[in-house]
Amino acid sequence: MANIHPTAIIEPGAQLDENVTVGAYAYIGPEVTLGAGTVIHHHACVEGYTFLGRDNEVYPFAVIGGKTQDLKYKGGRVGLKIGDRNCFREYVTIHGGTQDGQFTTLGNDNNILAYSHVAHDCQIGNFLVMSSQAAFAGHVVCGDHVNFGWGTGIHQFCRIGDYSMLAAMSRIVKDVPPYMIVEGTENCGVKAFNLVAMKRNGFSEEDIRAVRQAWRVLYFKDLNQSQAHELLATMPEGQNPCVRQLIEFQRSSERGSF
């Protein structure tokens, strides 16, 4: 049986699993769906055409599913889809899509810390750690196992590759390749490859050596990206799946890649 505080507002039409907890003075909008085990703490707000899966947790004063801030919004059926086991800390804001039929999406096991923001039409993967006051502008695409430092800002339409790390206060205006660590405001760039993430997530020594060599070729030789890709293609490391993923990510970039 759902545990609903008597002061919470549950609008008619909202769909709540039997095993949901909603705290004091929380608000659940009429087009919201909450999966089993989800906890909405006191004074939190879930609104819009929003779907939360199982075992999510929304902390006080967060707003999940709010209307897009994009001035191109003209109404329509837009929304937000969230997977399972995500955590949204205090004052987090996650907005729905902009064009009719579009959704902002988040996968599973993401940890979004206080005061962070995910804007309209972002597509977020799994196992993201987003430190306090970090922010995605619209249409950002983020892979899996990414770590964002405090106050990181991501420009609209950027892509963030798997197993990358963005240091605190970084200003991201280009795509961030997988397995890399970027840092900086005025001169943001790749500073290292993400050895710790690769070790923690069970990558082989062969994978780690290959990514280390690719990092050296891409960022320490006097080559542009195309020349570095050509050189890697002649090397044994260039055949490694992680390195192939890295090269393909950079080749497919529309905004340019670090």
**Residue 227 belongs to what H/E stretch?**
helix 225-233
Strand pairing report for 111-112 and 129-130 = parallel
From 36, 40, 35, 37, select the one nearest 10 (Cα to Cα). Answer: 40
149: which 2 tokens? 């430092």
DSSP state of 5: -
Sign of CA dihedral 243, 248, 251, 256: negative
- Which residues neighbour 34 within 8 Å (Cβ) at sequence distance 6 or greater? 14, 15, 16, 17, 20, 28, 40, 46, 52, 56
160: which 2 tokens? 């963030």
Residues annotated as catalytic are: 120-121, 138
95: which 2 tokens? 């907005």
Please state, in angstroms and rounded to a whole number, the distance separating the CA atoms of residues 162 and 147. Answer: 10
Q: Is 226 left (phi over 0), alpha (psi -120 to 50) or beta?
A: alpha
